[in-house]
Structure formats: structure tokens, C-alpha cells
Amino acid sequence: MLSLNGIGKRFGGLTALEGISFNVGKGSITGIIGPNGAGKTTLFNVATGIYPPSCGAVLLEGKDISKLPPEGRARLGLVRTFQNIELFGKMTVLENVMVGLHTRSSSGLFACSFRMPWQMSEERRIRERAMELLDFVGIPELAAVQAGTLSFGKGRLLEIARAMALEPKILLMDEPAAGLNSSETADLADLIKRIRDLGVTVALVEHDMDLVMDICDQLVVLNLGTMLAEGTPRQIQDNPAVITAYLGEE
Amino acid sequence: MKTDRIKFLVFALVVLLIPLPLSGGYLTNVLIFVGINSVLALGLNLLLGYAGQISLGQAAFFGLGAYGSGVLTTAYAMNPWLAMIAVALCVAAFAFAIGFPVLRLKGHYLAMATLGVGVIVNIALNETVELTGGPSGLSGIPNLQVGSLTFDSDLKNYYLVWVFALGMILLSLNLVNSRFGRGLRAIHDSEVAARVMGVNARLMKVQVFTLSAFMSAIMGSLYCHVMTFISPSSFGFSMSVELLTMVVIGGLGSVYGSILGALLLTLLPEMLRTFQDYDIIVYGLLLITMTIYLPGGLAEGIPALFRRLVPVRKVTEGSDA
């Protein structure tokens, strides 16, 4: 589904990523783990087009998307959520999801200012679909609330609903469990599995090992900007290099 | 959505009835300029209040509209309505072309670049003397006509300007409550998140910039036909600042706020005649006071004040009983 081929990223003299290559299998849940500063978020930023890579290529379903801007990648089905939830704080919860449906609708400046009949019916369709998505993540009662006032956990759910509105082929989630309590994390694990069951490939950066070991089919371990290991959760748990990176040497 | 429609109808009705008791007096004349300034402020508000992109050069588009129509209808004796449309389209094309490089900039840099556009256009209007008449202005611009009706009195011009203004206000209301408007507000809140959601931020910013230029140019054309005389000083930096003040005082991200701001800042100089030469200081003070005490502008402040007054009245009613 998503392939990274020899990705490198340098910020001035600092090498943040070097020689990262792996595939995210279609329909899988892939976890990207590693200690702080390993380059996980940078890797997401490169994959979604927020930073251009210094070298290497990003392939979505075999197609090179390295040159596309974030909105172009979103249109092809590569969607992400953010570590520190990036909601549109001054808009309502429902409107946030409706922005997510931007790529699933087409009314432009003229149709919108003149309220063309097709624009009105599209608007109704967007609104209904947005409500369905709020149902899916379990916060339909918050539709009219201003997004900036949500708790972190609810904000996370909204961000997922908004990302799902794009009908992603692959959803990249940056630390989805960060800031969540244990019951919220359990609900999140369930939600991620339901997303996978809808046929969406999921890749997530995560520190919560219990969550990662529970839901991931495949793990990639980064350390200091390079790939340390790749494999199933069980293989990774027994990998001596990984244990050294996390716990330090004797 | 239905209450929005009723609100607009009430507003339109008020606008259309106001001049009747005034019987074409001095206040009608001032209210013509309130209409022009409302649309100029509204155009800037779409850009600044909704999309979050500043422009300190809005007066340039207003000026280009005015001079475009002025020159074409005097020196070239072109049909004024045709000239208005042609000029507005040219100004929009100009804004679209400069929009791509200029709107890549953010914050202070964007402010400086748009300021530069405003200054350059103003210098051009001053220096191309053969075409524009230079600093001494351009006179003898004809009034607009529809059939045998000539817009030559304040009352007629009031309706001319406000019919245009109401149309643009209605279209803007539609726009901000739509997919396009949501995209703009999303860009304002978090451009990165908006782009990741598939919103083409770069294009939408240029589109709204172009729209604001188009609206300003139409108002420029109307202005020159209403005034029949124009000079570059009306389209300088101080006009751009005045428009910015209207938007901030009226309420960022509020269509009706733009109109309130335009109303206040157009009436204020008339009321504060003694301040005439120091009006820029009064604007500055107003801007500072408003941003400190009423960051939401009049559009937020008036309903808040109303809410604060209503419970007070209930308490007195209770004590009476």
C-alpha cells in the first residue's frame, strides 16, 4: 500500500532520517515505534508531504507521490492525524468533519455564492455524511459544540472522524493514544480495529507498548533516524538490538 | 439557515427604507459612502477575517476600479456599465496574477508585500498624468444611466450603491456558510491541517483575494460615477488602513460586522469634524481600544452588551412584583 524507499531527511547539518525503507501492507495495522527523537514524526511529515524528503521516494500503491503537496496526497487517499491534535478550533465539531469532506465535494466560489441547487443538495449530503462519521467515532451529541472547547480525548476522536471523512486508503496516526487515559485508550484500540475492518490500512506512531502489541500486525523500529528492526510484534519483543535501544546497554 | 434569511431580509428592508424620512439630505449622501465602504470592508473581511490573510493594499483595487472606469468613460467615452465590468474583470485578473507570489508570504511579510502593491498603484495613479490627471485628479466623469434614468441625485445614488452592496452582502453570506467558507476558516485556524484535509489552501487564498479585489473594483467604478471627480489621495495608504480599522472594529469574520464597522467609521469623521486632520490618530486609538477591550468587534460586542442588559431588567421587574 505505502512504500518508503530509502527516505533521508536532513535539516541543515542535522540528519533526522537516513535510509528508511519499508512497506505498509494493505489492510494491515503497522506500528512505528522508537525512543524519543528517533525521527518518527519527521517520517510522518515526509510521508504526508509536509516536508520534502532530502532523498528517497514515497510510493502509494506503486505510484511515486514524493512531489505532491499534502492536499494532493490527501486526494489520493493518504490521510493523517496529528500528535497535538490540529482541529479547527473556532469551528463546530460538525463543521470540522465537513471540512474533511472537502475532497468528496466540489462546489467552488461561484456555486457557493449563488447557492446553486446542486450546491445545496451537496451541502445536505455533506452534513448527513458528517453526522454518520460522528456516530462512527461515538460523539454525535457534540456536533454543535465549538471544537476548541473539547477535551483532549474527544478532540482525538473528532480528528479521527475528520480524517475518515476523506475516505482514506491509508490512515497515518501520530501518537493517537497520547494524553488519553486507559479506558479511552481501550476505546481507541477498538476504534482503530473497526477502521481496519472497513478496509483502511493504518500506520501509527505510538509510545504505548500495550496498545501497539495489542493491535499491530507489523512493527518498524526507528532509532536515531535509522531503521533498527522490522517484524511482527513478537519478533520485535525478542530482538536484542531493540531491547538495547530502549533499555540501554548493561 | 432560515433565520439567516430573515435577518438579511430585515436588514435589506431597513436599508431600503432609511432614506425615505431623510428626503435626500446630507445624511443620505454620507450613507452612500457607508454602502461603498461596507463592501470594501466586507471584501477585506473575507480575506482577513475568514481566510486569515492580511492586506494593506485594498485601496489599490478600489482606486484601479475608480480610475479604470473614470478614464474609459471620459477619454474613451466608453459605456459606463461595460467599462465597470471590463475594469472589474481586469482588476480581478491583476489580483489573481499577483496573488500567487504575494500570498505565499505570511504575517508581516504579507502585510509588507500588500502594502507595497498599494503604494506602487498609488504612485502610478499620481505619475501617469496624461491618463489620470495626476495629483490634481480626474473630473467630468459622467453619472450612470439606466434608460432615461440618470443617477444624479443623492437619493438615486443611494439606491444604486446599496442595491449593489446588498447583492454582494447576500452573495458573501452564502459564500461564508458553504464549503468554500468552511475551507477559508479551516485555513485560518490551521493551514497545515487544512491542507492535509485536502483543502487547496494556496488556490483558495488567491481566489478570495481575487474576489475581494473584484468587489473593491466594482465599488471603485460606482464611486467615480457618484462623485464625478476622483483624485489619487482617496486611494492611498490611509484608505487601506481605514478599511482595516473598519474590519477590526466591526468584527473579524463577521459579514454584518463589516457593515457596522463601515457605518461607524464613515459617520465618525462627520461627527468629529474638529479632529479632521488628526483622524488617523482617532482611528489608531479606536483600533487599540477595540483590540484590547472588544477583540470580537462590534459584531460580538453589541449582542454581548444586549445580553448583559437584559438580565438587569429582569431583576428590576422581579423587585417591582
The CATH number of the domain where A123 resides is what? 3.40.50.300
In degrees, to the nearest 5, what angle opens at C-alpha A235 toward C-alphas A229 and A236? 45
CB A147 within 8 A of CB A91: yes
Could you give the count of Cα atoms lying within 13 Å of B316 in the half-sphere of its Cβ?
Answer: 4
| Average pLDDT value over all residues in chain B | 90
What values do phi and psi take at A25, rounded to 5? -70, 145
- SS3 at position A39: coil
Asked if B206 and B96 touch (Cβ cutoff 8 Å), the reply is yes
Say which of A74, A89, A95 has its CB closest to residue B196: A74
Closest to B57 measured CA to CA, from B125, B104, B121:
B121
Interface contact flag, B211 A109, Cβ < 8 Å: yes
The ranges of chain B with pLDDT < 70 are 1, 273-276, 311-321
pLDDT in tens, A125-155: 999 999 999 999 999 999 999 999 999 899 9
Dihedral (CA of A170, A175, A180, A186) sign: positive
Q: Residue B42 corresponds to which cell in the numbers above? A: 466586507
Q: Are strands B138-139 and A226-231 parallel, antiparallel or unpaired?
A: unpaired
A215-236 burial, b at 16+ Cβ within 10 Å, e below that, comes to bbebbbbbbebbbbbbeebeeb
Q: How many domains is chain A built from?
A: 1
The residue whose grid cell reads 499491530 is: A216
pLDDT for the residue B228:
94
Domain B28-320 CATH class label? mainly alpha
Residues in chain A with CB shorter than 8 Å from the CB of B175 are: 109, 112-113
Q: Indicate the residue type of B75.
A: A
User: Who contacts B265 (Cβ-Cβ below 8 Å, separation ≥6)?
Assistant: B37, B242, B245, B246, B249, B283, B286
β A170-174/A201-205 pair status: parallel
Position A35 scores a pLDDT of 84
The three-state secondary structure class of A6 is strand
Kindly determine whether residue B174 and residue A115, on different chains, have CB atoms separated by under 8 Å.
yes
Q: Which chain A residues touch B if contact means CB-CB below 8 Å?
A: 48, 50, 69-71, 74-75, 79-80, 82, 86-91, 95, 98-100, 102-103, 105, 107-109, 112-115, 119, 122-123, 126, 162-163, 166
Instruction: Please tell me the distance from the alpha carbon of residue B258 to that of residue B249, in angstroms, as a whole number.
Output: 8
**Boundaries of domain holding A84:** 2-247
Q: Which residues of A touch B195 (CB under 8 A)?
A: 69-71, 74
- pTM of the entire structure? 0.88
CA atoms within 13 A on the CB side of A10: 8
| pLDDT given for residue B312 in this prediction | 58
Can you tell me which residue has the cell 482577513? B48
User: CA gyration radius for chain A?
Assistant: 19
Most distant CA pair in chain A, distance: 71
Residues of A in contact with B188 (CB under 8 A): 90
Domain coordinates in residue numbering, chain B: 28-320
Whether the CB-CB separation of B67 and B138 falls below 8 Å is answered with: yes
SS (H, E, C) chain B: CHHHHHHHHHHHHHHHHCHHHHCCCHHHHHHHHHHHHHHHHHHHHHHHHHCCCCCCCHHHHHHHHHHHHHHHHHCCCCCHHHHHHHHHHHHHHHHHHHHHHHCCCCHHHHHHHHHHHHHHHHHHHHHCHHHHCHHHCEECCCCCEECCEECCCHHHHHHHHHHHHHHHHHHHHHHHCCHHHHHHHHHHHCHHHHHHCCCCHHHHHHHHHHHHHHHHHHHHHHHHHHHCEECHHHHCHHHHHHHHHHHHHHCCCCHHHHHHHHHHHHHHHHHCHHHHHHHHHHHHHHHHHHHHHCCCCHHHHHHHHHHHHHHHHHHHHHHHC
Provide the CB-side half-sphere exposure for A213 (13 A, CA). 8
The three-class DSSP label of residue A181 is coil
Give A-chain residues touching B211 at CB under 8 angstroms: 109
- Set of chain A residues whose Cβ sits within 8 Å of the Cβ of B182: 91, 95, 98-99, 102
And the C-alpha cell for B301? 460586542
Using 50 as the pLDDT threshold, list the residues of chain A that sit under it.
none
Distance CA B129, CA B134 (A): 4
pLDDT, tens digit, for every residue of A197-236? 999 999 999 988 889 999 999 999 998 888 888 999 888 8
User: Strand A218-223 and strand A29-33: pairing?
Assistant: parallel
Strand (E) positions, chain A? 2-11, 14-24, 29-33, 55-60, 63-64, 78-81, 170-174, 201-205, 218-223, 226-231
- Torsion angle of the four alpha carbons B179, B181, B184, B189, in this order, in degrees rounded to the nearest 10: -100
What H or E segment, with its residue span, contains residue A184?
helix A182-197
Distance from CA of A242 to the nearest CA of B (A): 32
Distance CA B218, CA B84 (A): 6
